Chain A
Amino acid sequence: MLNKRLALSGAFTLSLLATVPAFAVTEVKLWHMEQPPQRVQRIQDLIDAFNAANPDIKVSQDPQSWGEVYAKVPAAMAAGNAPDILFAIPDFTTVIRKAGQLDSVADFVKELDGKHHFIPATVEPYSYDGGVWAVPLYNMSLNYWYHKKAFADAGVDVPKTWTEWKAATEKLSKDGVVGTGLPGNKQLYTDQTTYAIMVNNGASEIFNADGTLAFDNPKTVESYAFYKDLYKFTSPDAANWTWGEAEACFASDTCASILQFSVISTYDQQGGGDAADLGIAAVPHADGEADSATIAYSNAAIILSKDAAKRDAAKKFIAYLLEPETYGKFLTMEPGLFLPVTEDGAKATTFWSDPLVVKYKSQVEQMIANSHNGKLFGFTDGRVFPAIGPISAQNILAETLQKVVINGEDPAAAVKAGQARMVEATK
């Protein structure tokens, strides 16, 4: 017992020593969920350059996984060891706001906007309750990817409407080929594909203007019914798919088409990499709709730290990332996946000169065009409903879909039950 006490007091002294800064260096801890090694490496390169240019600041990164971060961040905040900067998406931001007091970064965003001109749609999901809660950093939107050759061989045109999409899927699905690969997992990817279908049937609003739920409506039900029609032809393991399996299916030519943010780097490394054969289009829309829409995520940096010096250092680092020269390198940590959120970033030579972006230029341009019609559930038409946090955290869109495509429930009944779940979750 005595030893234990000694050890404890020793540890205590050590931790005291550790908190005394040797020099006036401000340490800034960054957490993000960009775990693939090449992305971590690119972020590290940028951090190293930043630290070298700013000897009074030391930024360090710790990549986390989406699977654990919902548990970890609130726990770390409660325990007082949260990071100073956290990259997040809109609905996760509402969760973080609930777990602790965030300070608005409205002034900082305004300052950056004056310099780089944010695309308004990327700031909106973070602007509510009289503040701006994060700084937009990179945009993502879901696209329809297809193998041009497979379509040509089967004599199928790229679908624009749901009727065409269904026909194309049926025609392509033979000899072990999956016409359209769609996920059925209870997971964020399925939330995204489900919403991408809904939004193309005019069912983009999950909330009414007064904040009550509007999920249970005929348009949503139709969307789920259509998803079910397509799901019949998907891969047999789709009930277990995350983004990676869909990409693998596409890269191995098993899937003739999939809904995905970007397949470029996987396609290039594992799928043969013939840029001329890689097709991209907007997600097909319902026959009654005039144009295609998609789901778009504006990823942003939350500044969690309360310490004034750390906040300033964090802002300096974020401002550094958004400088066009560095910004292009930052976005191309996963070439062709992350899209610019600023006007001058969209022109950055460091972005357009990345070898993969050069190789797949037409595809990247199409991605940016598609992203202009992007929406996000709970954050539509300039209105924000923070109640989306728990709905999104528990993947209720996907959960409802599973009832339809796996348990074979009637879409109308499943959507009704889904709305009840949402009411329960937001209580």
Chain B
Amino acid sequence: MKRGPIGWIALIAGLAVLAALVLVPIYLVASSSFKLPREIINRVPSWFPKSFTLQHYQKLLATSDFPTYFGNSVLVSSVSALLTVVLATLAGYAFFRLEFRGRDALYRAVMVAYAFPSIVILIPIYLMFAKAGLIDTRAALVIVNVTFALPFSIWMMRTFFASLPKELEEAASIDGAGLAATAWYILIPLLGPGLASIAIFAFVSAWTEYLFASVLILSDAKRTLPVGLSGIIGQYQIDWGLLLAGATLSVVPVVIFFAFVGRWFVSGLTEGAVK
């Protein structure tokens, strides 16, 4: 389809608004994290840094446990993502490929689980985990993160399975391949982009989770990034330079990670039904 001049103007305007919305705040944070403290809190802000310093980054890395928090977040998020993919695939196959009594009721129950306000289970979970000796363990966070990511991931599976022609599996099973072989050689590769997008969804959910991480983890050495950062925010003093450096450092790695896997997230979702 051809785009007229009005179309182009609308497109460019739309893109400009989106870019301003998404990129400008992030630019301001990142660029200001290199300014001297005096320039950061100046009443007349500078859009382009007039000073340059690495002191905030030095302070962050030297005096706080930022690297520890970061490592914990990577660990918890990766394991959560992996487990979510495995469990969602199992459930997805059962729900969207098999026929059994009570399937619809079970599926419905899983989706209802998504509706519970997470704050509701905070207190009981704490007491249960305490009995199981899970308080102050990273495993506790993985369990909670997988629980919250799972229903939505199973729902996403629905589209991915729908886009896979059943005939493929049928052909494979006529060829004598067992269920496991069918799954491994046919289903998993074809579901690839879908699984990747579920993994990314679960990873990001775990990466950003705050409430449970703040209550279930007691010791500093096991804190995740969001909780550790909120500690650095400090209640008594605000060191904007330190905070902006922390904000920048916590976003950069995810951006790099996303630079490699990001296309899977979008294409996993968009290409599903096109096939």
Q: Do A81 and B135 touch (CB < 8 A)?
A: yes
Candidates A79, A81, A248; contact of B127 at CB < 8 Å = A79
Task: Give, as a whole number of angstroms, the nearest-CB distance from A4 to chain B.
Answer: 12
Mark B217-240 against chain A: 1 for CB-CB distance below 8 A, else 0: 011100000000011111111111
- Selected from A66, A72, A242, A252, the residue in CB contact (under 8 A) with B218 is A72
Asked whether any CB of chain B lies closer than 8 Å to the CB of A410, the reply is: no
Query: Given contacts A65-B230, A71-B215, are A245 and B238 in contact (CB under 8 A)?
Result: yes
Least distance between A20 CB and chain B CB atoms (Å): 15
Question: Does A78 sit at the interface, judged by CB under 8 A?
Answer: yes
Partner of A244, one of B40, B129, B133, B235: B235
**Cβ-defined partner of B235 (8 Å) among A15, A243, A252:** A243
Residue A247 lies at the interface, judged by CB distance under 8 Å to chain B: yes
B43 close to chain A: CB less than 8 A: yes
Query: Number of residue pairs across A and B with beta carbons under 8 Å?
Result: 96
A247–B136 Cα gap in the complex (Å)?
A: 34
The distance in angstroms between the C-alpha atoms of A79 and B218, with both chains bound, is: 12
**Quick one: which of B28-59 are within 8 Å of A by CB?**
37-38, 40-43, 59
B130 with A78: CB separation less than 8 A: yes
* B70-98, CB < 8 A from A: none
Q: How far is the CB of A11 from chain B (nearest CB, A)?
A: 7
What's the least CB distance linking A250 to chain B, in Å? 10
Chain A proximity of B34: nearest CB distance (Å):
16
- Given the interface pairs A11-B133, A79-B130, A247-B237, the reply to whether A37 lies near B63 with Cβ below 8 Å is yes
CB < 8 Å neighbour of A37 from B59, B135, B214: B59
**Minimal Cβ-Cβ distance residue in A for B243:** A244
Which residues of B, 1-45, contact A by the 8 Å Cβ criterion?
37-38, 40-43
Interface string of A296-334 (1 = CB under 8 A from B): 000000000000000000000000000000000000001
CB-based contact A38/B238 at 8 Å: no
Which residues of A sit under 8 angstroms from B234, Cβ to Cβ?
35-36, 244
Q: Which residues of A contact B173 (CB under 8 A)?
A: none
B218–A81 CB distance below 8 A: yes
Evaluate whether A81 and B215 lie within 8 angstroms (CB atoms) in the complex, with A65-B231, A65-B235, A75-B126 already known. Answer: no
Q: Smallest CB–CB gap between A274 and chain B, Å? A: 12
Q: Which residues of A contact B131 (CB under 8 A)?
A: 79
Q: Which residue of chain A is the closest to B238 with respect to CB atoms?
A: A244
Closest chain B CB from A282 CB (angstroms): 21
Minimum Cβ distance to chain A for residue B103 (Å) = 21
A242 CA to B239 CA in the complex, in Å?
A: 13
Known interface pairs A71-B215, A79-B127, A269-B37. Does A248 touch B238 (Cβ–Cβ under 8 Å)? Answer: yes
Contacts of A176 in B (CB 8 A): 43
Q: Are B236 and A243 in contact (CB under 8 A)?
A: yes
Name A239-262 residues within 8 Å CB distance of B: 242-245, 247-248, 251-254
Tell me, yes or no, whether A80 is within 8 Å of chain B by CB.
yes
Whether A79 contacts B231 by the Cβ 8 Å rule is no
Hey, which chain B residues are within 8 Å of A81, CB to CB? 130, 135-136, 218
**Distance in Å: Cβ of A408 to nearest Cβ of chain B:** 28
**Cβ of A5 to closest chain B Cβ, rounded Å:** 13
Q: Is B147 close to A, CB under 8 A?
A: no
Q: Say whether B238 contacts A247, CB under 8 Å.
A: yes
For residue B129, which residues in chain A have a CB less than 8 angstroms away from its CB?
79
Pairwise interchain contact B219-A251, C-beta atoms closer than 8 A? no
* Bound Cα distance from A76 to B123, whole angstroms: 12
Residues B238 and A79 in contact, CB atoms below 8 Å apart: no
User: Known contacts A37-B59, A253-B43, A266-B237; is A62 also within 8 Å of B133 by CB?
Assistant: no
Q: Interface of chain B, helix or strand or loop or mixed?
A: helix
- Is A382 part of the contact surface with B, judged by Cβ < 8 Å? no
Chain B: interface size category: 35 or more
Q: CA separation between A40 and B228, bound complex, in Å?
A: 13
Whether B37 lies near A270 (C-beta < 8 A) is: yes
From B40, B135, B232, contact of A79 by CB (8 A): B135
User: B130, A38: Cβ atoms under 8 Å?
Assistant: no
B237 touches A62 (CB 8 A): no
Residue numbers in B under 8 Å from A279 (CB-CB):
none
Cβ of A218 within 8 Å of any chain B Cβ, yes or no, is no
A41 at the interface (CB under 8 A from B): yes
Judge whether A211 is part of the interface by a CB distance below 8 angstroms.
no
Closest to B66 in A: A37
B64 within 8 A of A: yes
B235 touches A68 (CB 8 A): no
* C-alpha gap A65/B236 in the complex (Å): 11
Chain A 13-57 interface mask (CB, 8 Å, partner B; 1/0): 001000000000000000001011110110000000000000000
With both beta carbons as reference points, the residue of chain B lying nearest to A245 in the complex is identified as B238
Q: Are B135 and A243 in contact (CB under 8 A)?
A: no
Q: Answer whether A252 and B231 are a contact pair too, CB < 8 Å, given A62-B218, A265-B237.
A: no
| A272 to B36 CA separation, bound complex (whole angstroms) | 11
Which residues in chain B, 128-179, are within 8 Å of chain A measured between CB atoms?
Answer: 129-131, 133, 135-136
Task: Tell me if A63 counts as interface (CB < 8 A to partner B).
Answer: yes
A36 in complex: contacting residue of B123, B133, B219, B237, CB < 8 Å = B237
- Cβ of A67 under 8 Å from chain B: yes
Contact check: which of A62, A75, A78, A247 meets B219 at CB < 8 Å?
A62
Report the separation of the CA atoms of residues A61 and B214 in the bound assembly, to the nearest whole angstrom: 17
A272 CA / B214 CA spacing, docked (Å): 35
Q: Give chain B residues whose Cβ lies under 8 Å from the Cβ of A243.
A: 235-237
Q: How far is the CA of A245 from the CA of B135 in the complex (A)?
A: 34
- Asked if B235 and A41 make an inter-chain contact with CB atoms under 8 angstroms apart, the answer reads no
Distance between Cα atoms of A98 and B63 in the complex (Å): 36
Report A151 CB to chain B, min CB distance, Å. Answer: 18
Complex Cα distance A33/B220, Å? 12
Give every chain B residue within 8 A of A75 (Cβ-Cβ). Answer: 123, 126, 130, 215
How distant is the Cα of A367 from the Cα of B38 in the complex, in angstroms? 26
Roughly how many angstroms separate A235 CA and B38 CA in the complex, as a whole number?
19
Residues from chain A with Cβ under 8 Å of B135 in the complex: 76, 79, 81
Given the complex of chains A and B, what is the CA–CA distance between A71 and B37 in angstroms? 34
Kindly state the separation between the CA atoms of A406 and B133 in the bound complex, as whole angstroms: 46
Shortest CB distance A51–B (Å): 16
The 4 closest A-B pairs by CB, nearest first: A79-B130, A244-B238, A37-B63, A252-B41
Residues of B within 8 A of A (CB): 37-38, 40-43, 59, 63-64, 123, 126-127, 129-131, 133, 135-136, 214-215, 218-220, 230-240, 242
Other A-B pairs, 4, CB within 8 Å; known A62-B219, A244-B235: A37-B59, A62-B218, A247-B237, A269-B37
